[in-house]
Structure 1
């Protein structure tokens, strides 16, 4: 079992420094009926919450980010992350949970965190993450996960609505790379200093018969590309120690132009944070 309140508080603390830098207010609301302890995988639940919080942090430049938690009659923890960010355009709403999607056409990075959150939620026997958003006013992401022994009762539907909002359940499909089949040798390189993210990506790829290699920073990735010229796709985190994704991508293109690197892989940039100026 795990302490539910502490998990929520610790999750909020993880974005406190970044929120203070952006002068954002953080709000935590906990239902008094919430049990002290829950039965589930706390690390996965926290990863989902933190991913949603960091997503709100990325697209909120003034106002607040709120984390709230309630407890349902069917022994489920219902978590909501609400922000006063830029909101989601209606045409983008069905795509935001797809791997490498972006809310703004000019924003950097990818929807890796949201995609991972959806995969983790399904592993916890939860349903799709629900998103409600109003362009220019903010967004609200909600999910529910069983944390009690009795989980047979259906989850009562909520009647909460916001005028002119986007409201729909997002069905997340697994990672699919077109025209790539099962290979005996790895053709995908996952570059991320976060071990948890690497595990999720590798498991996702393996579930589709795709082999991959891993690197913890840009310099490590370059060495692996020299050793494995068959790599076709690089999933590159942007913010890493030693050598970040931007520097590594430039170096890879430079080495290829100089003829020192025979094959130039497709590099897909992934980032969890983004300032408004980016």
Structure 2
């Protein structure tokens, strides 16, 4: 594991990944994206990992793309095949992932946070897409995910003005799941991650896939996929354990089978 991403796996099965470029405000250089993608690729096939908690620093989550790379290489940075594959690996992570955001999440940092299944934000958090000030606009999914989540009007305002929004506005727009006092985002996200990690792993992955389908396919196709995925959940040992534990009035022990 590169020291660009700090990794800790706790006894609950929660893998904590922390962006670790404080000198660059956690700017997303290609090595950092590669390190994060590598950690998530490994976590995807590691049965001991049930949930990922993604965080940045105490004062910032991530400042966005590494501008020095763009100055040196221009648009070739975005066309780099390895970078594209690494970003795709982050997008495709199949297990639950929660982002804890303190301070600002700008540009690519905002896009990265939107790849999490939900965001827990401190009340000092700020979210924005300042790329327009550089003659650019979000190019790692920001135009699509912000519009789908927050709606056309706010997405247009964010991207065309470059002005950030505060955490309360992000919560109202559905970009954030919950607000907590400054300094508490990681702890609250960790508590929720531990709660989710105790649930049946297969059902978690299937539920995530079913929800994400709502953003990709028409309603009829989404409903069909939901039925197909719930049938797979019914066929698991964990489903039988859940029902048995309920009848026996005891906590279930899910083993991911």
Task: Report the TM range for the smaller structure's normalisation.
Answer: under 0.3
TM-score between both structures, scaled by the size of structure 2: 0.27
TM-score between both structures, scaled by the size of structure 1: 0.26
User: Which structure has greater strand proportion?
Assistant: 1
User: Which structure has greater helix proportion?
Assistant: 2
